[in-house]
Structure formats: C-alpha cells, structure tokens
Structure 1
Amino acid sequence: MESTTQTQTRRPTETAVAYGYHRDRFLAGALLFVFGLVALMGIITAEAFYPGYNAGVQEISDLGATRPPDSIILQPSATIFNTTMTLSGLLVLGATYFVRRAFRDRAVTVALGALGIGILGVGIFDGSEAPMHGIAALLTFFAGGVSAVVAYRVIETPFKYLSVAIGGFVLLLLGSLIALGLLGVTHPLMFLGAGGVERYVAYPVLLWTLGFGGYLMAPVAEPDAV
C-alpha cells in the first residue's frame, strides 16, 4: 500500500516535468523554424525590390546598405532586410531561452545566443556602419557554425552527424576565407563571387536551423524526472 501511494504521488511530478520538456522543446523548434523561413523569405523579398541586384557579386548585407565610405541604401530593400534581420535575431534569442529550459546545456545555449545577438546586430547596424556591422556579421557566421557542431549534444543519430558536418563545413570555409584573406591569397571558391561565397557560409546555417527546428518539434520519448 505504501509503495502504491508513493508511485501515485510521484506521477504528477513526472508528468509535469515531461510536459514542460515537450513544451519548451517544441517552442524552441518552432521559433528556429520560423526564423529560417523569415530570414530566407526576407532576403528573397529584399533582392526582388533591389534594382539590378547580383547575388554573385553583391554581399547579402548590401540589401541593407553597401560598405562605406560611399554607402548605397535603396528602399524598400533596406527596410525589408534590416527589419528581417532584427526580427530574426529576436526569434533566435527566444529559441535560445527555450533550448536552455529544455536541455540545460550551456554550450548549445551560448552558441545559439551568440547567433541571435549576431543576427540582431546585423539588423541594427546596417552595412554602412563600420566596424559594428562587420563584427556582427562575423559573429553570426561563426556562431552559426559552432551552433550546428555543438548541437550534437542534444540531437540523436543520424541527424547529429549531419548537423556536425554542416557546422564543420561552415567553420572550415569561414576559417579558410579569413586565413587566405590575411595572406593575400585568392580563395579557390572566389569564382562564385563575393556574394556567392558568402552565401555558401550563410545559407547552410539557415537550412540547418530549419532542420534543427523541425527536429525539436517532432514527438520524442519522455525524459527522466529531475
């Protein structure tokens, strides 16, 4: 009788823990998935309104403003892009909060948080505002790659291997671009143009967030009570 009473007392707590875990996990995934959609569609829309925009030659941030000293800002592309990035950063930061609640993993939380801050910075400081925009963009790319790598800690196979591969590719490409740039050597992928190479870094991160977000929203087994 005593054992039965203890079991009945424990079940409400276990159920509450499971509910909280599933809720936080789902909300994190939903926010990341929405971020991926918003960012991609925002960039596409800004490109559509930018006369003569060349995705191979021009950087993504040119949609908000080109680099100084003679920065070019074209509307409505600039407003669309900057608003998209600001909203995207907030979405990632919101997802970070729920990832922290669901998994209690510091590495994943810090990496995703840095990604959100970087994207938010890109939206607040457009391309004409050096060096803040450049710092925010670099943080975005680096944190995006790191996020995909460290996410293996909260992802089951086989997606964890794909996540690490995507993050590793982004970090390797980003590192090689920086290293060869400092050495004054042309990167082998520069035949794609500056905009094309940048998209090889940025788009894998965006696509990863769509995949990771969908993964987090999927039904999973209940965690052990804590």
Structure 2
Amino acid sequence: MSISKLSVAGLLIFIGVAEFLLLMLIAEALYPGYSVSRNYISDLGVGSTAVIFNSSIIIMGLLLIIAAVLAWGLSRIFAITIALTGIGAMGVGIFPETIHPFHLIFALIAFLFASISSYPTIRISRSPGRVLWPILGTVGLIALILYILNMYLGLGPGGMERMIVYPNLIWALAFAAELMNYPSQRSKP
C-alpha cells in the first residue's frame, strides 16, 4: 500500500493546525493575567510564552508550505493560498507583535489567505460537508473585516480575533482529515 502525496499533505496540515491550536491554548493558560477577550493572540508571542507560541506558529507555517507543494497536483489555487497562509503564519512567529510593521503584514496575510483557502475546497473535497468549509472561511473573512474596523461586537479585540482564527482552524482540520483519506492514484502497468 502506497501513501499518496495528498495523504501526506493532509497529515501535515492536520499536525500543523492541531499543534498550533493546542500550544496556543497552553500558552493562554500560562500567560499571567491573559484574557481571551482583551488580549490579542499575538500577545502570546512576547514574554514568558513567546517560545511556545512563536515556535508553534512557525512549525504550522512550515508544515502548511510543505503540504502546499504536495497538494499542487490537486489544485494550484488551493496550494498557493495554503502556501501564503503558511508564509503569513511563519512571519507572525518570526516577527512578534513588537516588530512593526512586519508583524501586522504577516498577520494579515495569514488571516486573509487562511479564509480564502477554504473556497477551492468546495471543488476538490469529496466530503458531504464540503459546503461547510467555505462557510467557515467566510465567517473568518467577515470577522477580519469587523476586526479591521474595530467592531468587536462585545467580544473584545481578542474575541473577535478568535472569530477569524477558530473557524479557519476548524475547516482546516476537517479538510486535512479528508485529504489523509484521499485515494492514491495508482499507475497502470
């Protein structure tokens, strides 16, 4: 039994997103006085939790870029948008929020392309839930616009930022699980 490139791509996306999510939650618990409503996610990238947060987002970004290369044959648009998401994520970890304007530029790239990456999945997914991936991406895009406009809807800046990030992490985990089970293309003798 051979493992397809797409299965490996799915595994890398799943590992990258899952490790980032779990380590972000750990960093939130360890950061003194941290509030998911008042604090930005990137606050975790400075101070006592910097190593945890920055390394986890850099690893996620790197794994997304490798997955994009492996998924190139499935969809070039998906591969490009996932690679840009990975580049944005790595930039967030390399340039913490104290390094302006680079941190903001990379955060915008990560937020924007994570949401946009959900759209090509509707054409390449074989799951009955494939219509949900772009809906989650759209939630992320709407939240990004509200966030930029400082309209936090009572959630605070940290809460609205999570409305950008969490829907994208959810669709990415679900789609990655599907990719891990994509049938390998067998060449005919």
Same fold (TM over 0.5): yes
CA contact (8 A) 2:147 2:160 kept: no
The AA in structure 2 aligned to 1:218 is N
Q: Would you say how many aligned residue pairs link Structure 1 and Structure 2?
A: 188
- Find the counterpart in structure 1 of residue 136 from structure 2: 166
Partners of 2:28 and 2:119 in 1: CA distance: 30
The structure with the larger Rg is: 1
Kindly report structure 1 stretches of 4+ aligned residues shifted beyond 4 Å: 221-225
Shift of 1:172: 2.2
CA contact (8 A) 1:149 1:166 kept: no
CA contact (8 A) 2:62 2:86 kept: yes
CA contact (8 A) 1:29 1:217 kept: yes
CA contact (8 A) 1:145 1:167 kept: yes
The AA in structure 2 aligned to 1:28 is A
When residues 92 and 111 of structure 1 are mapped into structure 2, their CA distance, relative to the original with a 3 A threshold, is same
CA contact (8 A) 2:65 2:86 kept: yes
When residues 56 and 177 of structure 1 are mapped into structure 2, their CA distance, relative to the original with a 3 A threshold, is closer
- The residue correspondences of 1:86-105 to structure 2 (distance < 5 A) are 86-101=58-73, 103=74, 105=75
Shift of 1:159: 2.3
Q: Return the match for 1:190 from 153, 171, 180.
A: 153
- The residue correspondences of 1:1-226 to structure 2 (distance < 5 A) are 23-65=4-46, 74-75=47-48, 77-101=49-73, 103=74, 105-178=75-148, 181=149, 187=151, 189-220=152-183, 222=185
Report the secondary structure of 1:149's partner residue: coil
Larger mean CA deviation between 92-101 and 191-200 belongs to 92-101
When residues 96 and 219 of structure 1 are mapped into structure 2, their CA distance, relative to the original with a 3 A threshold, is closer
The AA in structure 1 aligned to 2:40 is E
Query: What fraction of aligned residue pairs are identical, expressed as a percent?
Result: 33
Partners of 2:66 and 2:23 in 1: CA distance: 19
Shift of 1:153: 2.5
The AA in structure 2 aligned to 1:43 is M
Partners of 1:177 and 1:82 in 2: CA distance: 22
Shift of 1:219: 4.7
Partners of 2:20 and 2:175 in 1: CA distance: 15
Q: Give TM-score scaled by structure 1 length.
A: 0.77
Partners of 2:14 and 2:71 in 1: CA distance: 13
* Unmatched runs of 5 consecutive residues or more in structure 1: 1-17, 66-73
Shift of 1:116: 0.4
Larger mean CA deviation between 163-172 and 81-90 belongs to 163-172
RMSD of equivalent CA atoms: 2.0
Partners of 1:223 and 1:191 in 2: CA distance: 53
CA contact (8 A) 1:118 1:136 kept: yes
